[in-house]
Chains A and B, each alone.
Chain A
Amino acid sequence: MSTSAEAATAFDAARRYRLHPQLALRTERFGALAYHYGNRRLTFLKSPQLTAIVESLGDHESVNAALDAHEVGAETRPALIGALARLYASEVIDVC
């Protein structure tokens, strides 16, 4: 979808994000389920680490700072940034 691609391009790890205000998160063993009350979409957060990062995004001045706080190393960082960009595209997280 072009809209997702545009939003994903616009994702900037140097900025502050937070859980979308219309979103509810439920922790599960595999990660979490995220339900958006506005667009009624259900999204899967596919690891406990990603879930913890998403939950804490609003407490950090940038995505990079949140990743640092969770001790995310250089090897796994691109994959997590990619996952967060997709979550931004599907309105699970929101730019502050």
Chain B
Amino acid sequence: MSADTASPELRNRFKHGLQAPICLTWEVTYGCNLACAHCLSSSGKRDPRELSTDECKSLIDQLAAMRVFYVNIGGGEPMVRRDFLTLVDHAVARKVGVKFSTNGALITPEAARRIASTDYLDVQISIDGATPETNDPVRGRGSYAMARRGMDRLAEAGFGPFKISVVMTRHNIPELDALEAIAQEYGAQLRITRLRPSGRGASVWDELHPTAVQQRELYEWLIVRPDVLTGDSFFHLSALGEPLPGLNLCGAGRVVCLVDPIGDVYACPFVLHDEFLAGNVRGPGGFAEVWRNSTLFAELREPQSAGACASCGLYDKCQGGCMAAKFFTGMPLDGPDPECVLGHGELELVKVGAGDRPAVPAGHSKRLRAG
């Protein structure tokens, strides 16, 4: 999806929340065939408590009733659920469009044909580099070839412009042009997002997040490419000049939220942590009750203090950056983003020791085999 640029007045209205999310991410399983180093949800093994097919359908019906226009489905690897395409059909039949993220492993020629014949369905395939040498150390051996095979199959099935989704790291920023070229080869759309220190990402963020010089390079690359999708990921970079396209605000609990595989509702896809847990769709009143009446979301919709950033002339542009990035690096939520383009975050990072970082939940990572 792309959206209008919101005026400052409208952006202020959004901060008080909406009748339903604009952008809802739904992770349908913790199961995954890969074990990406930066996985936001620490996925690997399925959870026995995951929503059943009927519970998933009921959630879709609730979203349709709330007029949620589309959901972003992810995981884990969503296609490992045997009922995945059934759920997609259920959603699009109710005019809840689906965009799903996949690593491409299960896009068989048959699945590709079925996906290509479904309306209101968008697909994004993830790679984290333009070559296996850059991608595979992050996403796993063979994962680049697997993703490209999935892309080939979608192209052969005549799916049309699918999306290629890339998490930006210090190793793949030099490959931006090459990534764009891959997208062009397929007639695909490039979508790039920010690396967050969330989930397993907490343990690799220090070594993988882009350098200050690379952040500027990224901003300059993006500002002349308004058609590259970003999921509104890089609004902290808007402090470098003209704002990037998008809403340019932290939408957590206001315009976005996340439903995890067991029905827990979190403020955004990057904060799977008890601190940002608003409720569960299995509770009375279902998802709507959590969205409308949870205490956490009410708090997030209150005016937020600019804190240490109040005296910075650029606060209006960057809005203090990403809540999740601050939380998982142990920084105050009303202070600068760890990747603040003025360097205030780096100074703050030095002050907070590793001990100030919140404990990362064990998640659903598969145990590594010895040797």
Q: Answer whether A and B are interacting partners.
A: yes
Q: Which residues of A are interface residues toward B (Cβ below 8 A)?
A: 24, 26-30, 33, 35, 37, 40-44, 46, 90
B90 proximity list for chain A (CB < 8 A)? none
Looking at chain B, what size class is its interface with the partner chain?
20 to 34
Cβ A37 vs Cβ B120 within 8 A = yes
Q: Give residues in B with beta carbon < 8 Å to A.
A: 1-4, 6-7, 10, 13, 16, 18-20, 22, 67, 69-70, 95, 97, 119-120, 122
CA distance A13 to B5 in the complex (A): 26
State how many angstroms separate the Cβ of A25 from the closest Cβ of chain B.
8
The 8 Å CB contact of A24, one of B1, B4, B67, B122, is: B67
Cα A27 to Cα B18 with chains together (Å): 10
Given A26-B19, A30-B10, A37-B119, 4 additional A-B pairs, CB 8 A: A29-B16, A40-B97, A41-B4, A42-B4
User: In the bound complex, do residue A40 and residue B122 qualify as a contact, i.e. CB atoms below 8 Å apart?
Assistant: yes
B2 touches A41 (CB 8 A): yes
- Beyond A24-B67, A26-B69, whether A42 also contacts B13 by CB under 8 A is no
Partner of B10, one of A26, A27, A46, A90: A46
CA distance A44 to B14 in the complex (A): 11
A-B contact pairs, 19 of them (CB 8 A): A24-B67, A24-B95, A26-B19, A26-B67, A27-B19, A28-B18, A30-B13, A33-B69, A35-B1, A37-B69, A40-B1, A40-B2, A40-B70, A41-B1, A41-B3, A41-B4, A42-B2, A42-B22, A90-B4
Q: With A37-B120, A41-B1, A43-B4 given, is the CB distance from A28 to B69 under 8 Å? A: no
User: Inside 8 A of B95's CB, which chain A residues have their CB?
Assistant: 24, 37
Cα separation A10 to B122 with both chains bound (whole Å): 32
Distance in Å: Cβ of A91 to nearest Cβ of chain B: 13
- Contact flag A35-B70 (CB < 8 Å), given A40-B122, A42-B22, A44-B4: yes
CB pair A33–B120 under 8 Å, yes or no, is no
How far in angstroms is the closest Cβ of chain A from B69? 4
Smallest Cβ-Cβ distance to B97: which chain A residue: A37
* A37 CB contacts on chain B under 8 angstroms: 69, 95, 97, 119-120
CB distance from B154 to the nearest CB of A (A): 17
Residue in B16, B22, B97, B119 whose CB lies within 8 Å of A33? B22
